[in-house]
A = this chain, B = another copy of it.
Amino acid sequence: MERRATIKDVAEAAGVGVATVSRVLSGGSASPSTRERVLAVAAQLDYRPSALGRNLRQRRTGGMGLLVPDLTDTFYGQLAEGVLACARSAGEPVLLGSTGDDPEQEADLVGMLLEQSVDRLIAVPSGDAETWTPVIRAGMRVVFADRVPAAPFQEDPGVTAVNDLMRLDGLSPAPQTRPLDAPAVVADDRAGIRTAVRYLRGLGHKRIAFLGGPGQDSRVAAFRAAVGAPVDEDLVVFGTGSRDSAYAAASGLFQSRPDLSAVVAGGNVLGEAAVLAARELDLRVPRDVSLVMYDDVPWAELCSPPLTVIAQPGRDIGYRAAELVLRAETRKPRGVVLPTELIVRGSCGPRR
């Protein structure tokens, strides 16, 4: 890197002390004449304050970290765009990491951010509450997006945010121990899933399956609640996050339960897998099987028939999360739940 002008250069050229330059540039008090002179010189020298110096002095790096499971998943692309939009308008840098939905990789990435002294983080978490507690305790200001860390124990979720959201989602409330001081920005999974299930019920469907992926605990819970006890457990299956695994899960589901007439896919990768598996098995959508997919992605409309989806505002989720993590907010920040919308297209039909 070529030598760039430093604050000292500006100070000398303007005939003032470095502190004055610093003050002027950060909007502190200074006489109009000094201010003007300093500004002129700075512009003339094309001076740009070094974030390095400032950060070291303030013992913290500006900007924020962003951890998502997979950027080839369009939903996370949308979420990331939201975060970037907010960060840009705030002039803050964003450090990106992709976790592959693997708690270990996630931990590595968090370690890297710690090393960089990044103390603000937006995360779509893979690890459970137990793994996140220490990092929040260590002073990292984290906002969860899209989902919250799973509770490690049924009897001790140990997470305020998780707790509240689980309650929102109709899960059993649990005693609040060790509250996890992190807000979360999520979609209203409960309402979204409930609406979808009711819609399918209205079409006459009785055997409705749920095809889930990692971190979709609240959607699964919402599904169970929506179909009501007793839940046919064979109709609730999971992939591990990769497209292959999602396909395997979908294919296995269709083959083991040819009696099912509708499936709710918990995310767009799972929806994709369902479409592919159905085609492979010569199941027609929606004639043989109806499909509702979580996430509205551009290609949902390209399928034939176009997919009926539960839309969640990925971009807004990211934007709001970035706002939250940026706002040097007061204590006990609360999370936000954004609405979902059932968009009816052509992938659901009456039960045959």
Binding site for B on A (CB under 8 A): 1-2, 48-53, 55-56, 59-61, 63, 66, 70-74, 76-78, 80-81, 84-85, 88, 91, 93-98, 105, 108-109, 111-117, 119, 137-140, 243, 272, 275-276, 297-299, 301-304
Contacts and interface: CB of A to CB of B under 8 A. Distances in A.
Contact of A93 (B55, B60, B78, B116): B116
Contacts of A55: 52
Nearest to A303: B302
Contact of A59 (B1, B70, B115): B1
Contact of A1 (B1, B96, B117, B301): B117
Contacts of A119: 1
Given A71-B84, A72-B78, 16 more contacts: A1-B119, A48-B114, A49-B115, A50-B115, A52-B56, A52-B117, A70-B81, A71-B77, A71-B80, A72-B298, A74-B77, A94-B96, A297-B299, A299-B302, A299-B303, A303-B304
A51 B1 contact: no
Copies in the complex: 2
A276 B276 CA distance: 20
A96 B70 CA distance: 15
Nearest to A2: B139
Contact of A88 (B1, B94, B108): B108
Contacts of A272: 298-299, 302
Contacts of A77: 71-74, 76-77
